[in-house]
Structure 1
Amino acid sequence: MDFKLSEEQQMLQDTAARLVRDNYAFEAREQFAKTELGYSLGFWQQLGELGLTAVPFAAEYGGFAGNGVETLVTMTELGRGLCLEPYLHSVIFAGGLLAQLGNEEQRNELLPQVASAHLQLAVAVDEPTSHYQLHDVRTHAEAVSGGWKLNGRKSVVVGGHSAGLILVSARTAGSEREESGVSLFLLDPRTPGVSRRAFPTMDGRKACELYLDNVVVSGAALLGAEGQALAALRYQQGRAIAAQCAEAVGSMEAVCNLTLDYLKTRQQFGQVIGKFQALQHRMVDMRIELDQATSMAILAACVADAADSDERSRTLAASKVLVVRAARFIADQGIQLHGGIGLTWEYVLSHHAKHLLMLSHQFGNDDHHLKTYSYLMQVA
């Protein structure tokens, strides 16, 4: 099997790598994180101008009809640079939901804005008690004259503090954990009754708690068929998991490179510590884990846009488990081999470690995906 990138894919990777390298020095990232927005609006606009936010969308909406591999090369470079922009949540997850569930009017109006980075989206599916279960929805939507009335709370909405529109899951029928009856709504956060509490996550990005108190939206805010959103949520979260694996690989590559450079320069007992065989072996172990994670990220990218099936779900679950375990190992070893400096806030390695830990808990941790994988093996 040929794993080489095509000429167009290589150009896309070079463009993303150059953009990150020229605009995302660690010191600049720290300044972006301190702003109210929490990321660089200028960099976000550059992503749009260069077409990087348009990669996964169809040409009729201003996109390039890219597949999982194009997403892979883009996300790897964003992960390598520890970019704070909500590309994963706005373009991949929310954009995918809009493309899959939206009617013709919704797609024609909104997808070109997302593809050009003029509109940032967020997805609000997690709740305080849901624990990665997309069908555990306690936020309710009640039909009222001309629309819907929403009540409930959503947790850890990444990018929700700055989103122009938030895609909110709410139950329109059934009990709290039924798989049917889950609907998806396009919510303008400026609507009366909506409140947000923004906070920084552990890796420097920003998220918010979303509170809905008798929020009335029009009938046009419903995305897809009433009560039938769960399958699309699961499918698009699978695409987001594949993109997340690629982002983690980029971050892990940066940790390995930082650690290797440190071993080549740090001296003890009159020689560089990279000459000590025990440390060489640990560096080799890190590279082995990285290679395995890279292989799984490529596999996830290859199935991300495939038709929904148990095999696709098993592959994505396995990829998430192996990438997460590799990420924890590489982050831990990188800190250990650096010593105390690896934990300091002023050194970029600690931020990669925090980001990798954060990724391991988004869209389900390894225990959740192991359980999913085991269940799918039983029903196969």
Structure 2
Amino acid sequence: MDFDLTSEQGQLKDSIGRYLAGRYSGLEAREAMRRRPEGRDPALWQGLAELGLLGMPFAEEDGGYGGGPVETMIAMEAIGRSLALEPFLATGVLGAAALRFGASAAQKARLIPEIAAGDLCLSVALTEPGARHDLGHVATRAEETPAGPVLSGRKDLIVWGESADAIVVPARLDTGGVGLFLVDPRGAGAQLSGYAAQDGSRLADLVLDRAPAERLDPVEGSAEDADGLTVIERIAEAGIAALAAEAVGAMEELHRLTVDYLKTRRQFGVPIGSFQALQHKAVDMLLMVEQARSMACYGAMMVEADDPAERRAALSAVKVQINRSARFVGQTAVQLHGGIGMTMEYIGAHYFKRLTVIETQLGDTAFHLARVADAGGLIAAE
């Protein structure tokens, strides 16, 4: 199998890498953006739109640029490497998957060009209080009225919810099934509360009290048309593949920072990188980064697989390895840096924070390990 990037993918990697590196040139630049009201610089979002990144996840016939999982992996690696505070995971991954698998042609035609132009940010409210990673835990209810559907309930931990112009909200139908709805988070009946996550990104909680909504309408007869939970699963799987790529970018940069520190920090008159025990630790970090990279590539290949059971087991296995690598690389980096590795004045600590948050997003290690075990593993027993 050929794992080399095409010329177009190579150009995408170079362009997004240069763009983000130029604007996230260090911890001071990132902190200045984090202190803004929305926790980011909206002008950078327009720059990503001009690069074509926001239209990339969508098919050309839907108004996008025809990118796929590999292109998303390239973008998320660059975001992880630069520790960027941009809502691409919310809009370009989770929101994009919601539209791709859960929206009608008319809805796509209306929404996707706005996203591609940078005029519309989406997010998806996947979790509720007490859900503990269970995507089927949907207590928010949808009620049909003469004026259209209204939603009541609560959603939490919405990724970049404050930046969203619309939020995709799963809700329980009168039939007992689950539907997906578009909600204006600042409209009537909606109360949005934003707050900072530990890694500097922003999350939000959303309380709905008969809030007007527009139901997403999947293509009739498609697998996603049977139950909204199928669409929710596809959204989460796309998110896991993207988080895997972001974690690889962050781990790669944290490993580089650690090796540079070992070369420059001196003790007993010599660089501490000359001590064999610390060299072994740095090599162990590299091995974990490369294992994570392999699984991130596997996730990009499997996220569009046709078999739901095979796809589910594969993405859970990806998340297990990513979580394990993220924890090992982050903790080892702190150990090798000593006290400076835990100070907020050093950017390495912020990479560690982001990796720690990724470890819990869309399911922790124990949750996904149980799913892999329930599936019988990735290789069938003979």
TM-score, length-scaled by structure 1: 0.95
Query: Distance in 2 between the 1:227 and 1:59 partners?
Result: 26
TM-score, length-scaled by structure 2: 0.94
- Deviation digits for residues 149-181 of structure 1, max 9, x if unmatched? 21111011111112100000110136xxxxx61
User: 2:64: which partner in 1?
Assistant: 63
Query: Distance in 2 between the 1:216 and 1:16 partners?
Result: 37
- Aligned length, in residue pairs: 373
Query: Distance in 1 between the 2:109 and 2:12 partners?
Result: 25
CA-CA distance at 1:315 after TM superposition: 1.2
Question: SS at 1:83's partner residue?
Answer: coil
- Structure-2 change in CA distance of 1:334 and 1:111 (3 Å): same
Question: SS at 2:210's partner residue?
Answer: strand
Alignment of 1:175-214 (within 5 A): 181-214=177-210
CA-CA distance at 1:41 after TM superposition: 0.8
AA aligned to 2:357 is: M
- Deviation digits for residues 19-51 of structure 1, max 9, x if unmatched? 111111221111111111111111111110010
AA aligned to 1:287 is: L
AA aligned to 1:193 is: G
- Deviation digits for residues 300-348 of structure 1, max 9, x if unmatched? 1111222242222111111110011000000000000000101111110
Q: Is the contact between residue 183 and residue 227 of structure 1 (CA under 8 Å) also seen in structure 2?
A: no
User: 2:3: which partner in 1?
Assistant: 3
Query: Distance in 2 between the 1:145 and 1:64 partners?
Result: 38
Q: Is the contact between residue 104 and residue 216 of structure 2 (CA under 8 Å) also seen in structure 1?
A: no
CA-CA distance at 1:190 after TM superposition: 2.5
CA-CA distance at 1:128 after TM superposition: 0.7
Alignment of 1:87-106 (within 5 A): 87-106=88-107
AA aligned to 2:68 is: N
User: 2:153: which partner in 1?
Assistant: 152
- Between 1:250-259 and 1:14-23, the stretch displaced more is 14-23
Question: SS at 1:360's partner residue?
Answer: helix
Question: SS at 1:36's partner residue?
Answer: coil
CA-CA distance at 1:66 after TM superposition: 1.4
Query: Distance in 2 between the 1:378 and 1:295 partners?
Result: 17
User: 2:85: which partner in 1?
Assistant: 84
CA-based RMSD: 1.6
Query: Distance in 2 between the 1:309 and 1:227 partners?
Result: 14
Does 2:14 correspond to 1:14?
yes
Question: SS at 2:54's partner residue?
Answer: helix
CA-CA distance at 1:378 after TM superposition: 7.8
Question: SS at 2:132's partner residue?
Answer: coil
CA-CA distance at 1:100 after TM superposition: 1.6
Does 2:233 correspond to 1:234?
yes
- Deviation digits for residues 245-285 of structure 1, max 9, x if unmatched? 00000000011000000000000000000000000000000
CA-CA distance at 1:104 after TM superposition: 1.7
Query: Distance in 1 between the 2:287 and 2:342 partners?
Result: 23
Query: Distance in 2 between the 1:105 and 1:9 partners?
Result: 30
- Unaligned regions of 5+ residues in structure 1, if any? 175-179
Query: Distance in 2 between the 1:77 and 1:359 partners?
Result: 15
CA-CA distance at 1:368 after TM superposition: 0.8
Query: Distance in 2 between the 1:17 and 1:205 partners?
Result: 20
Alignment of 1:1-380 (within 5 A): 1-25=1-25, 26-173=27-174, 181-217=177-213, 220-224=214-218, 228-377=227-376
Question: SS at 1:230's partner residue?
Answer: helix
